[in-house]
Amino acid sequence: MTENPELWLRRYHDADEGAVQLFCLPHAGGSASFYFPMSAGLGRSVEVLSVQYPGRQDRRLEPGIDTIPELADRVAEVLAERTRKPFALFGHSMGATLGFEVATRLEAAGVTPLHLFASGRRAPSCRRDESVHQLDDDGVLAELRKLGGTNAAVLGDDEILRMALPAIRNDYKAAETYVQQPGPKLSTPITVLTGDADPKTTLAEARAWQEHTDGEFELNVFAGGHFFLADHQREVLRLISTRLAGTFSGHH
């Protein structure tokens, strides 16, 4: 039984008939609206569908899902109902790990994405011992501030953050307890985007995504921290548009 896909997907702008679909997966504690600017910026040739996880914004009364495999099962099920050809996946931070797991499930069902954009996240095979989800509220907030830096747009004010804490903690638990299970490599090409000063991902950890695909691979390094996307919107949009138009520079 699949629940209503409309619960899971937000479409902010119209797209042309036959546009490439780009399913966007938010970061830990993030919500679908994080991708509103990307949806606006990519124009009508890309249909941006942003995933809304349970437990936030208009779904805040629903219980969160605190493991990546279960969340990936649910998202893959929804996407399988909504995908047309061609479609791609974009995930930032926890959303990149989730994108990998969703692509794995879709490929196993015989549906191969055009592309996986993995942003701001170490490769699934790279483990770090992290336990932010076990900290008290102030500890979780301190971690978020460290990642967001001065980017108020990402963090919002204290009161809103505290309201969002259950969703944030839920997602940190999912991301931090994730262990990649052995399985076949993807055939989906992977483009990695990373910030050169991201405390959560080293360049080696970003490059390790290459081990997860038999398809083409590309690593793009931007100046900035964990939320480098906010500072480099134009370049990021150009990169996505170019890849989705089917041109791949192929450099590593």
Catalytic residue IDs:
93
Spacing of C-alpha 145 from chain mean position: 20
- 229 within 8 A of 192, measured Cβ to Cβ: no
End-to-end CA distance of the chain: 42
Cα 150 from chain centroid (whole Å)? 21
Q: In what order do the strands lie in the sheet with 9-10?
A: 9-10, 46-51, 20-25, 87-92, 115-119, 190-195, 217-222
Separation CA 62–CA 179 (nearest Å): 25
